[in-house]
Chains A and B, each alone.
Chain A
């Protein structure tokens, strides 16, 4: 651009300014309006969409599918076109060219024209690039597989304790017992007859920090026979899972920590009203999670009796059925009463269930072993479970 053109441009700009508006208030007014709208939008997004909860970083869990922030997705997608040996073209050369092209734009585009009709080449290139970026972003979104089943993320302490309780029920109970009481291990391969100290006592709770507990669960205690449970050492638990188990232990057994009330409510087996028939989903499942499923899941010594859901409880096992609706002589009831029968020994092997819990089992089976609470509501208990003074009323 020569001096004459510059002069002309400045003259024109002065004329435009003379015809124009005042920065204050005209321009400022528009700016404030847009900023205010943006603020409302942001607050709305924060309130109604929020920030998705993610599990904590876990370097050992390499199954996680990495996803960059959305504005880098196009670059991520672009790299797929530069596999192997030529990857560096996509990662280094193209971005460098793009940045330099943008930076140096005013220095190589020296034509004085600003209207798009006289800059068709430049405008076309930029439009293609932008459309390409949008297209790549869309492709990236479309081809990224959804997160392998939405993971349960326990964000708050009560959620963590409940998750920890469930995980403890699955992974720890078979050796350490439902209450962490320890004792002689039965039915666990390789550890048969080993006697464990309780882990719910002050000895453990007062001397082991959360970090120590975490580490023990993470890489086990090989010398004492405890296998590692952390994903990084061949176990099944992610970092978030182990933290949940530690929190469960701390808040349940450490007498210095107070169990949040909502946890106590959520994890307790709900009390039965008089004459109510218990249901699997409300009453039996919480007990199974706590006392049974640690052994009664695939890969354990359990005569093939699995107890992960209602169907398995009713139908699986070498001596199936173990639960017969209406029959108090069912294998399950006899074993809960610590009888030694063909189907197996007393259950749970190390310590009897509390009598009031066994009563719930009896009422459940005698009442017809219903699955859902809705089904249970339509059933009545046999006379022997009703209080003596209450005369069974005839059906109207």
Chain B
């Protein structure tokens, strides 16, 4: 029976073809440094899942953001665990994506034919930093508020367009409800959508081109 169900599905979904191209393929023998990419992906999934749970209770307004986070920490069952994982997962994700980039650099894996994989990877690093920056403001506590005040001042010092960028980031001259709403929207919709797209391209290329082998002397 199970076999008949499988055959029925396979005929329509092409499961065997997926298995053959994605899973059942030969790759060069590599070391543990090659797990950094999948670790980054895993951390992204963890961040996405815990983040979705956090949005259930989080309220992105200056009047309620802090209280809603307090409620998550003290009132919601296991809310402290979800937020704790999200908090530490953010740090780990930045760390792992960065080390993944270093591994790719030192093994020369960005060279032909993997240039586009590298490009998407750099954008993934930048969007990950963007996630860190926008997520930092959301608890709306002192640390968040003042770090973001300084953080949005930094692009503000750019010549000519600096103050324009600063106003765009803040949605006004000062940090306000608008800033929080913007950072929230960027943190939970815009950047994740971009990251998902980049991950899809990145992984398609990794599967299509295969992982690079560890360079030998003279290569």
Contact = CB atoms under 8 A, between A and B. Distances in A.
Interface residues of B, number: 87
B27 A17 contact: yes
A35 B42 contact: yes
B173 interface: no
A65 B142 CA distance: 9
A120 interface: no
Interface string A1-13: 1000010010011
Contact of A54 (B143, B174, B211): B143
Contact of B141 (A39, A54, A112): A54
A102 B98 CA distance: 12
A69 B155 CA distance: 17
Given A64-B142, A88-B159, A23 B218 contact: no
Interface in B37-90: 38-39, 42-43, 46, 62, 66, 70, 73-74, 80-81, 83-85, 87-90
A66 interface: yes
A21 B142 contact: no
A105 interface: yes
Contacts of A75: 154
Interface string A158-186: 00000000000000000000000000000
B78 to A, nearest CB: 10
Contact of A117 (B35, B101, B217): B217
A55 B136 contact: no
Contacts of B151: 68, 72
Contacts of A375: none
A226 interface: no
A16 interface: yes
B27 A27 contact: yes
Nearest to B25: A23
Nearest to B35: A34
Contact of B154 (A23, A42, A79): A79
16 contacts: A13-B213, A23-B22, A35-B39, A38-B42, A46-B84, A54-B144, A56-B142, A57-B145, A64-B142, A68-B147, A72-B129, A76-B150, A102-B125, A115-B215, A115-B217, A130-B102
Interface of B: 22-30, 32, 34-35, 38-39, 42-43, 46, 62, 66, 70, 73-74, 80-81, 83-85, 87-92, 94-95, 98, 101-102, 105-115, 118-119, 122, 125-126, 129, 132-133, 136, 139-147, 149-151, 154-155, 157-159, 162, 174-175, 210-213, 215-219
